[in-house]
Every structure is written in C-alpha cells, then in structure tokens.
Copies of this chain bind each other. A is one copy, B any other.
Amino acid sequence: MRIYLDCIPCFVRQALEASKMATRNKNKQEKVLKKVLSEIGKTSLKNKIPSDIAHKVHRIIRKMTGNNDPYKKLKDQCNRKALRMYPDLKQKVAGSKDRLLTATKLAIAGNIIDFGPGSEFNLEKTIEEVLVQDFAINHFNRLREALQKSEKIVYLGDNAGEIVFDRILLEELKDKEITFVVKGGPIINDATVEDAKFAGIDKIAEIKTISNGEPGTGPKRNSKEFTNFLKSADVVISKGQGNYEALSEVNANIFFLLKVKCPTIAGDIGVKIGGIVVKQSC
C-alpha cells in the first residue's frame, strides 16, 4: 500500500507520543517534533510506503533523545499481561468446536495491542467481540486449506504482547516448519527478538529479523531479499496493518490477518474500522 497524505498527521501525532515516552524534557520533545516536521517536509512521498516514513521518524526520536526504545515499558507490560492471559486463551481454543478458527480469531484479537494508530484499547473486550464477530473479509477456509497442504510457513509478527496471541495460533501448527519474523531492533511497540523469546516463541519457531530502520537489524520488509524469502514459503501469515501496508502488493501466498484500526487502511482494504480480516493476497 502506498503512503497516503492522511498518514502524515498520524505520523506527527505518533512522533509526539513517542517523544513524550522517550524523554520528559519538554524542550527536547519540541526539538524532536520540529525536526520530524522538517524532515517529512522535505521527503518525497513518491513510491514510499508508510513504514519508510515511520523508520525516518522513529530514527530521529532515538537519535535525538538517546532513548533507543521509548516503548520498552509499555511493551513489557503488554507481554506480561498477555502471558497472564495465556492459560485462559488456551482454554478458549481447547473448548471450541473449531480450534484453528478460534486460534486465528484470538491472534487477530491480539492485534488490538497497537500503539501506532493510538494508545487506547480494551484487550479483554476485544477478545470477546472478535470471537463472535464475522470476518469482514473472509478467506479463512482458503487459509485452512493452504495450511493443511503446507510444510514451510513464515509468520510475520506485529506487536509485543500480541505475539503471545500469535503463539496460540502457532501451537495449532505444530507439525510445520515455522519461521517467525520480528523487528531486528525497537520501533514503536513492534515485537523484537527479546519479546519473541519472552513469549516463548523461540521454542516453537525459528526467529528471523527484518529492519527497524537502523543498519544491521535485518533486510527491509519490502526488499527483494525479504520478499524472495516470503515467496519461498508455502504460506505466509502476516499480522497487522504495518505488514499489510508493506506487503499488500507482493506476489507471494500471503494471508493478512488484522483488525482494522485506521481510516486510511479501512479505505484501502474496503473494511470499516473495527473490522476483522483474513485476506489472501493477489
């Protein structure tokens, strides 16, 4: 998905939120915000995807505040909260008529833990809603079929905390060879290797990283290197808006699992805010 002009005010809001988390020094917050404005002001949006700008914005924040991981505390809280819910989530799957469907829905419910589009959400309420909610785009049967025939699965994680919900779905795919992809360094509340380990995912999948915008953190999500890797998988499960934005036009067997949280994605994918999606690419 190309970047829309509507993404810009959202990045500016996100930059202010992140600066406040990175430092209490209001002068520094102002300097950071103004630097972000100046940088976006001189960046061409042509052929850009939203994360190109996000990388730029959060790099400025890290550099100027010296805080490499402003969302660390929030991420830890989300991881711990989700792990406390893990036994209940497992019971929901065990007690359901269709384990794969329930696990898929729980993975989508967990996608509400996202500090990109805003900072308010109710996880418990979302879980209950999503479990009885119809998919706004429903390629779930295709996903089930593709998974049955697959050996090699790539699973693109999204946020800290949410990855505990991903683990619930991953545990339903135990006989497969799974690679779980996280960011090679911190950006917003995106899951990192540390988070994946904390959630216990390293025990059931191989962990691979993609770039957070800093050199040495992995290939860019929409790079040839990484999209070729996705094409080598039988099935790719892609969680959340950021992965959809970056990969919606990539020619691989990708199933996008997400909860729609922003009006721009809503418009692009054709689903109302709050809608839940299992959408096969291409």
Contacts and interface: CB of A to CB of B under 8 A. Distances in A.
Interface of A: 5-6, 8-9, 12-13, 16, 26, 29-30, 33-42, 45
How often does this chain occur in the complex, in copies? 2
A233 to B, nearest CB: 36
A29 B5 CA distance: 8
Nearest to A40: B37
Nearest to A34: B41
B12 A9 contact: yes
Give the top 7 A-B pairs by smallest Cβ distance, nearest first. A38-B41, A37-B41, A9-B13, A37-B37, A9-B12, A12-B12, A34-B41
A5 B27 CA distance: 10
A13 B34 CA distance: 15
Given A8-B16, A38-B42, 11 more contacts: A5-B26, A5-B33, A8-B33, A8-B37, A12-B37, A13-B13, A34-B40, A37-B37, A37-B40, A37-B41, A41-B41
A208 to B, nearest CB: 34
Contacts of A16: 5-6, 8-9
A202 B70 CA distance: 55
A37 to B, nearest CB: 4
A121 to B, nearest CB: 17
Nearest to A46: B30
